[in-house]
Structure 1
Amino acid sequence: MSIERTSVLLKDKSILPLLRIVLDPVITNPFLCLSRWLTTDGAATPFELLNGKSLFELAGEIPELNSLFNEGMAGDASFVASVIIRERGDDIFGGLRSLVDVGGGNGAMAMAIAEAFPQVKCTVFDLPHVVASLEGSAKVEAVGGNMFEFIPPADAVLIKVIIYFTNDC
């Protein structure tokens, strides 16, 4: 990474919440039990071995963790959205009328897209406890559900980061 890109990354305050969650002990402690996880049958991930449930299940039970995780993902989404919209936005979103952001968290990515491309009706699709506090708008709708059961129809489906959080792929 160039010095110029590094300084842009460090100046962008939207990345700080992501650093808070990835450096939080709830995320880092599972790495301390990797050797036990490698020799144990049954746990899908080191996180599940240590906590007895997935990150999403735990976040659904602990509001502080849910908030910390969602703020981190929103910071990442804001940063990525600004880069994508600036660098390739017209190519990607120019001809769309609708988009579903699967695992869209607090809607940061969908809202940035809807603002930059007003013709695109965006849907934030995430677990019910994640979208419960979101307020929809004329351009962004929040829908709760499970992507393994159903994804709302749209011209385009945006899937960012969530593949890393599942063993069902």
Structure 2
Amino acid sequence: MQLLDNTTTQTLLDGQLDLWHTTFAFMKSMALKSAVDLGIADAIQHNGGAATLPEILSKVKLHPSKIPNLRRLMRVLTTTNVFSIQHPPTTEEGEPVYKLTPASQLLVSSQIPFATMLLNPMIVSPFFELGTWFQRELPDPCIFKQAHGMAVWELTRKDAAFDTLINKGLASDSQFILDVAIKLNAEVFQSISSLIDVGGGSGAAAQTISKAFPHVKCSVLDLEHIVAKAPAGTDVQYITGDMFESIPPANVVLLKFCMTGITRTV
């Protein structure tokens, strides 16, 4: 092999290791998806915040024959800090104990819908065609439209289940991010009187701001089929419109994820 003549063997082995790390990186996100699907974080939480494999197994209702497989899954999830592991002393027998980390604490609260959305096959599968997308000339469809024949927001109009997936996912992330923003930077909101969330969906972000700062008049601008399902009984005003045509005036314009899947030139 000519390559071995010009490069040290150890360097090539290190290169192969880098390739393997990159090639199998998808296992981390798929392990996370499995944890979300199985409700492993909830199982640990409901067991007092710490659980052995048999205890997790019983709560997620898997067959005992799956313990070796579950152990391998948890090995990946502890390596990536989704969970932590506490081994028994070497002088004692017993099962390792798994505990929640800051990452998995989010999986028992606000971030489950967001993780579920990002790990959904409809979102992940377009990336298998990324190389093909690069070979096409601009302007061309976004990678999502190339794979599914329509952009994200077009598909939400036609597929009710996908629409729910997207809106719940974005709403959960907005709730979390705005809670943090309000806690750390409340003074920013104290000095404004109006805010419009462009592409704000169900209005999770606007509702959070409105509840924390009643003096701020909060509005959401979104497409007709989104506004039609807006929740009632809130102080948030929902406005039907297209951000590429006009945005109602406000002290602050909030832009969060609203450009996702947009195919037109801006």
- Give me the TM-score of the superposition, normalised by structure 2: 0.58
Task: State the alpha-carbon separation in 2 of the partners of residues 24 and 96 from structure 1.
Answer: 38
Structure 1 position 88, deviation (Å): 0.3
2:117 corresponds in structure 1 to 21
- What aligned pairs does 1:104-123 form with structure 2 within 5 A after superposition? 104-123=200-219
Structure 1 window deviating more from structure 2 (119-128 vs 35-44): it is 35-44
Question: Is the contact between residue 135 and residue 142 of structure 1 (CA under 8 Å) also seen in structure 2?
Answer: no
Structure 1 window deviating more from structure 2 (51-60 vs 137-146): it is 137-146
Question: Is the contact between residue 131 and residue 143 of structure 1 (CA under 8 Å) also seen in structure 2?
Answer: yes
Question: Is the contact between residue 195 and residue 216 of structure 2 (CA under 8 Å) also seen in structure 1?
Answer: yes
Task: State the alpha-carbon separation in 2 of the partners of residues 51 and 154 from structure 1.
Answer: 36
- Letter of the structure 1 residue corresponding to residue 222 of structure 2: D
2:87 corresponds in structure 1 to none
- Letter of the structure 2 residue corresponding to residue 82 of structure 1: D
- Please list the CA deviations of residues 33-88 of structure 1 after superposition, one character each: whole Å capped at 9, or x if unmatched: 11111113463211111111101001111011001000000011001011000010
Question: Is the contact between residue 200 and residue 258 of structure 2 (CA under 8 Å) also seen in structure 1?
Answer: no
Question: Is the contact between residue 115 and residue 169 of structure 2 (CA under 8 Å) also seen in structure 1?
Answer: yes
| Aligned-CA RMSD value | 2.0
Question: Is the contact between residue 202 and residue 231 of structure 2 (CA under 8 Å) also seen in structure 1?
Answer: no
Task: State the alpha-carbon separation in 2 of the partners of residues 96 and 153 from structure 1.
Answer: 13
- Letter of the structure 2 residue corresponding to residue 96 of structure 1: I
- What aligned pairs does 1:128-147 form with structure 2 within 5 A after superposition? 128-137=224-233, 139-147=235-243
Structure 1 gap segments, 5+ residues each = none
Structure 1 position 165, deviation (Å): 3.3
Structure 1 position 9, deviation (Å): 4.5
1:10 and 2:104 correspond: yes
- Give me the TM-score of the superposition, normalised by structure 1: 0.89
Task: State the alpha-carbon separation in 2 of the partners of residues 145 and 111 from structure 1.
Answer: 19
Q: Which runs of 4+ in 1 moved over 4 A?
A: none
Structure (1 or 2) with the larger CA radius of gyration:
2
Structure 1 position 100, deviation (Å): 0.2
Aligned-pair identity (%): 35
1:62 corresponds in structure 2 to 159
Question: Is the contact between residue 152 and residue 260 of structure 2 (CA under 8 Å) also seen in structure 1?
Answer: no
1:80 and 2:174 correspond: no
- Letter of the structure 2 residue corresponding to residue 163 of structure 1: M
Question: Is the contact between residue 120 and residue 139 of structure 1 (CA under 8 Å) also seen in structure 2?
Answer: no
- Letter of the structure 2 residue corresponding to residue 19 of structure 1: A
Structure 1 window deviating more from structure 2 (39-48 vs 52-61): it is 39-48
Structure 1 window deviating more from structure 2 (70-79 vs 45-54): it is 45-54
Structure 2 gap segments, 5+ residues each = 1-80, 83-99
Aligned partner of residue 139 in structure 1, secondary structure = coil
Task: State the alpha-carbon separation in 1 of the partners of residues 219 and 128 from structure 2.
Answer: 38
Task: State the alpha-carbon separation in 1 of the partners of residues 249 and 258 from structure 2.
Answer: 19
Structure 1 position 15, deviation (Å): 1.0
